[in-house]
Amino acid sequence: MKQYKPLIDDWQAFKHACKRPALSTVRKNSIRAGKNFEERLKERFDEVEQSGWNSEVFRLPGEKTPGKSMMHWLGEYYVQEESASLPVQALNPEKDERILDMCAAPGGKTTQIASKMENDGEIVANDDSSRRLKSLHANIYRTGSASVSVTNYDGRRIQENRKYDRILLDAPCTGEGDRARRKFEPADQYEKKNLSELQKQLGEKAETLLKEGGKMVYSTCTINPQENEEVVEYLLENTGLQLEKIEMNPDHRKGVNSFEGNQYGQEMNKTVRIYPHHFESGVIYVAKFRK
C-alpha cells in the first residue's frame, strides 16, 4: 500500500485505522422498520450512535454480530459499512423512477435504493454471477423490497428498450481497502489493468441505458486511481456523460489529479474519496454523472 502514500492525507492515521477491527454499523430499512426503531435498537445493543451525516445509519461500537439480531432477520435493518451507503446517497433516487443497479449482489445498495424510494418505483438489480444471486434474492426478500426485479446478465450486454432515470454502477474492483484491513496481498498490475478495462466497458454500457438528463453514480471500494479517476476521465472523453460535484458532509478527500506520472483533469475535484481514518469505515470512491 506504500505506493498510495502520496494520495492519503494522513498516512499514519490511515495505517492505524487499517489495523483496527471494522466498526459494526447498520442501516435502517424504512420498508420494514417498525415504530420507535431507534429506541428498540438501543434496547437491543449496549451502545448505539447515529451517524453524523446519514440519519439512517447507526454505529454499534463493540458489537461483533449485529446480523444475529431478530431485528436483522425481520429486515428492519441491513448490516452495512457506513461508507458503503455513500453511493446511494449520491445517486439520490426518487419515488416513481426507474433505477438500474448494474452490479447488485449481495444487495446492500439495491435494498437501500428500495428503502429510500419506499418501494414506489421500479428497480432492476442485475448481477452477472449466478452464485451471488442467492444472497441477492435473500436480502431483497428479507427487507421487503417488492419494487425490485432481478436479472442475471453480463452488465456489458444488458439489452433494454426502456431507458433508466438513474443507474448505480458499483463496479467490480480490486477491493484494496478491504485487502489492507485484512492484510491480504495487494492486487497485481495485471488484475488492476483487467478490472480497469472492465469498469470502462461497464460505464460505456451504462451511458447507453440512461435517459437524457439521467444520473449515474460510479463507485468502487479501492484506492487505485487506475480503477477510479482513470475510469472517470475515460468516460468523460468517450461518452455523453458529464461530472456533477458531490456534496458530502462526512470528512473526505477530493479525487486525485495525478499519480505515478499519470495526469487526470481538474474535474476529478468533483469526485470523492473516503479512507478508513475519516470515520472508521471502509475505503470508497464515488463519482456522479449526468447524461
User: Confidence band (pLDDT; 50, 70, 90) for 16?
Assistant: confident
Q: Which residue has the higher pLDDT, 32 or 280?
A: 32
Answer yes or no: do 29 and 103 share one domain: no
Output the CA–CA distances (angstroms, integers) from residue 10 to 6, 172, 220, 286, in the order listed: 10, 27, 21, 20
Answer yes or no: do 185 and 210 share one domain: yes
Distance (Å, whole) CA 2 – CA 23 = 24
Answer yes or no: do 98 and 152 share one domain: yes
User: Is 221 labeled as catalytic in the residue annotation?
Assistant: yes
In the chain, the number of structural domains is 2
Answer yes or no: do 243 and 176 share one domain: yes
Where in the sequence is the domain holding 202, given as residue range(s)? 2-22+82-290
pTM here is 0.95
Distance (Å, whole) CA 48 – CA 62 = 10
Answer yes or no: do 163 and 69 share one domain: no
Instruction: Give the total residue count for the chain.
Output: 291
Answer yes or no: do 28 and 132 share one domain: no
Residues in Cβ contact with 265 at an 8 Å cutoff, skipping those fewer than 6 apart: 233, 236, 257
Q: Which of 13, 48, 80 is the last residue of a domain?
A: 80
Q: Which of 43, 59, 80 is the last residue of a domain?
A: 80
Q: Which of 80, 100, 126 is the last residue of a domain?
A: 80
Active-site annotation holder among 18, 103, 173, 221: 221
Answer yes or no: do 46 and 173 share one domain: no
Task: Please identify which residue in the block is written with the cell numbers 480497469.
Answer: 196
Query: Where residue 38 sits, what CATH number does that domain have?
Result: 3.30.70.1170
Least confident of 9-18, 112-121, 131-140, 229-238: 9-18
Answer yes or no: do 43 and 182 share one domain: no
Please give the share of the chain, as a percent, with pLDDT higher than 70. 97
Answer yes or no: do 121 and 224 share one domain: yes
pLDDT tens-digit series, residues 62-102:
888 999 999 999 999 999 999 999 999 999 999 999 999 99
Query: Where residue 101 sits, what CATH number does that domain have?
Result: 3.40.50.150
User: Confidence band (pLDDT; 50, 70, 90) for 112?
Assistant: very high
Report, as an integer, the average pLDDT of 10-15: 88
Average pLDDT of the chain to the nearest whole number = 93
What is the widest separation between alpha-carbon atoms in the chain? Answer: 55
Answer yes or no: do 107 and 52 share one domain: no
Answer yes or no: do 62 and 150 share one domain: no
Task: Please identify which residue in the block is written with the cell numbers 441505458.
Answer: 209
Answer yes or no: do 93 and 201 share one domain: yes
